[in-house]
Structures are given as C-alpha cells and as structure tokens.
Amino acid sequence: MDTHDIENLWIHLRWLTVLAEQGSYTAAAARLNVSKATMSQRIAELERAAGVPLVKRTTRSIEFTEAGLRLVESTRSQYEQIATGFSTVREMAGVARGLIRVTAPVSLARQQLIPNLSTFLRANPEIKVQLDMSDRLASISTEGYDLAIRHSEHAPETHVAWKLCDTHSVIVATRAYLERRGRPLHPSELEAHDCLFYPRATGRGVWTFEPKHEPKAAQENIVVTVDGCLSANNSEALRDAALDDLGIALLPDFTAQRAVRDGQLEVILDGWRPVGAFANQLHVIRPYAPHVSRAVSLFIAYLRDTFEKGFAL
C-alpha cells in the first residue's frame, strides 16, 4: 500500500480508535455524530485495506482482534497529539471554544448543574457542553469525557481532581404527613413510619444516625431498619414521593434544597446526622493530560465558583 492509499484511510484509523474508546458501534457513531451504518462501513473498508479482521462482532458486543488492538495502540497517541496541537493553535485566537463532554449524577445535574449553566454558556458563546446524566461511574479516560462530577467520599488518585464542596444527608417530610402520623423525635421512632429509601445491595432500608452534639468519643450510632410504600435508586424520585405526602425520605442536601427553602418539605431529627447513605463530598475530575483546553479550564473554574458554598438549606 503506497503513501497515498494510507492518507485516504486517516479518517478510518481515527474512527477505529474512537470505536475502541467507546466500546460499541452505537456509542462510537454518536461520539462522531455519524450513523451506525456509516461507522460500520468505514471499519469494513479499513479491514479490507489491511487484509485482516480488526473487530469481532457479536449481537451484544465487540472485541478487537490482535491486529486491531495493535493498530489502535500504534495510532491513538498520534491523533491525541494532533488534537492537542490544533486546540493550542485555536486558542491563540483568544476566544475559548470547543465541545466539553461532561458526565454527572442525574439528580445533581437536574437540580443544581443545569439551572446554573446558562450563565456560563452565555459568557462563553463558542463553548458547547455535552452533558451525560448518569449515576453509572463512567470511565472518563476510555469513554471520551473531558470531565466528571462525582458525589463521592474521596477524590480518585488516578485523575486530576478538585473538591467542590461538602454535602450532607437530611431527613425530610411534608407538614401534612407529620400532622397525620406524628413527628419522630428519635431515629428509633422511624420504624413506625412510612419511609422512602434508596435500596442498597440487600434491597432493605437501613438508616444509620449519629448524634450531632455529642463528642466523637461519646457517640453511639443508631441503626434503624425502615420500610415504606416506595424505594427507588434516584433521590429525585424519593423527594417527589415525599412531596406527595407518602412518607419520610432520606435525601442528599442538593436534592432537598429547593423544596426545603420553599417550605414544601421540613427537616426533621435535626439533632441527628444520617451517615453512610450518600457520599459527603462533591468533586470534579479530569484525566491526566499534557494539555488542557482553555474551555475545560474555564468550566472547571465555573464549577468551583458555583458550588464552593455547598447547598445550605
């Protein structure tokens, strides 16, 4: 194959690396903003030119052959260098521009990130944000994300990370529910109430509390098994059920904030701190990279400024 033939396949080689990053034809096509059929056709053309299979296709997944893996590994860094070089040149124009791919938890994104995005986007009209709202912990290095917002106990050491703020969990209910069923004054009383909980591995609702106003050495945690008409793996769903007077909910502060401020939900058991239900810190992370675009740097600064005060109720 001569040099001219190889030049004609540059875009095919790039698409192969994207396929390796995304792990499926559907995801790779979406990343490149092309149809799945076009994606498949380009890979087939590359395989014919190479003379060997590069990708094994099944009904549910893809697997790269040894030749395919070798080709991806030998070309990936060159395309990354090209992208970095082009970004550097574009930024010489003095205007931050480009696409930022961000993954964030569903409830946090809907309740806190999206309502504040307009300020950033209006101030930076050449920047576009592609937001993937998912509670799945995506691999930002292999799935092509520039940033991830994580609700976690600690920042991962495998990425560049910034702590945005502390978060905490609260116990809430409507006044109508409390007037009907009574206001619990101690965590043990929750066992007699309808509780709306996030199901963990066991599927049961187990809430743990520590007293706020006792010295650490004197604290004794209270563990309560709760039950109710609804459990859900989304804090917004639990909040909305609580707003419908269905019971008492344990929520992260960023989900409860607006409803508490508006007087729709009341915080109860304020002398007790729920522990272990949700993480207590919010971070933004990015992969290690020799060059970070100005757009990404600006977005990180925006996130740090927006969330530095946390979610006061």
Whether 179 shows a pLDDT value over 90: the answer reads yes
Helix or strand (DSSP H, E) at 148: strand 147-152
Angle between helices 253-261 and 235-243 (to 10 degrees): 30
CA 69 to chain centre: 28
Give me the sign of the Cα torsion angle 157, 162, 166, 171: negative
Q: What is the pLDDT of residue 85?
A: 63
The model carries a pTM of 0.70
Comparing 86 with 234, the larger pLDDT belongs to 234
CB 296 within 8 A of CB 162: no
Residues in CB range of 65: below 8 A, 6 or more apart? 52, 53, 54, 55, 56
Q: What DSSP state is assigned to residue 197?
A: B
Whether 32 shows a pLDDT value over 50: the answer reads yes
**270-304 tens-digit pLDDT:** 999 999 889 999 999 998 877 788 899 999 999 99
Residues in CB range of 33: below 8 A, 6 or more apart? none
Average pLDDT for the chain:
87
**Three-class secondary structure of residue 185 per DSSP:** coil
CA 195 to chain centre: 27
Least confident of 46-60, 63-77, 88-102, 175-189: 88-102
Q: How far apart are CA 282 and CA 169, in angstroms?
A: 13
**Three-class secondary structure of residue 91 per DSSP:** helix
Domains, the chain, ordered by start: 3-91 (1.10.10.10), 98-166+280-307 (3.40.190.10), 169-275 (3.40.190.290)
Tell me which residue has tokens 């940033």: 147
Whether 40 shows a pLDDT value over 50: the answer reads yes
Q: What DSSP state is assigned to residue 23?
A: S
Whether 137 shows a pLDDT value over 80: the answer reads no
**Most distant CA pair in the chain, distance:** 82
Helix or strand (DSSP H, E) at 64: strand 62-64
Nearest residue to 268 via CA among 207, 219, 200: 207
Comparing 4 with 252, the larger pLDDT belongs to 252
Mean pLDDT of 104-131: 93
Mean pLDDT of 158-176: 94
Q: What is the pLDDT of residue 15?
A: 85
**Three-class secondary structure of residue 268 per DSSP:** strand
Strands, sheet with 195-196, edge to edge from the N-terminal-most edge strand: 195-196, 248-252, 169-173, 266-268
**55-84 tens-digit pLDDT:** 987 766 788 899 888 888 888 777 666 666
Mean pLDDT of 222-250: 95
Mean pLDDT of 186-209: 89
Quote the percentage of the chain above a pLDDT of 70.
Answer: 87
Q: What is the pLDDT of residue 171?
A: 97
Mean pLDDT of 98-108: 92
Comparing 157 with 70, the larger pLDDT belongs to 70
CB 62 within 8 A of CB 19: yes
Q: What's the chain's Rg over C-alpha atoms? A: 25
Whether 217 shows a pLDDT value over 60: the answer reads no
The CA-atom distances, in angstroms, between 152 and each of 17, 140, 167, 168, 282 are 30, 16, 10, 11, 6
Quote the percentage of the chain above a pLDDT of 90.
Answer: 54
Residues in CB range of 255: below 8 A, 6 or more apart? 107, 108, 111, 235, 236, 238, 239
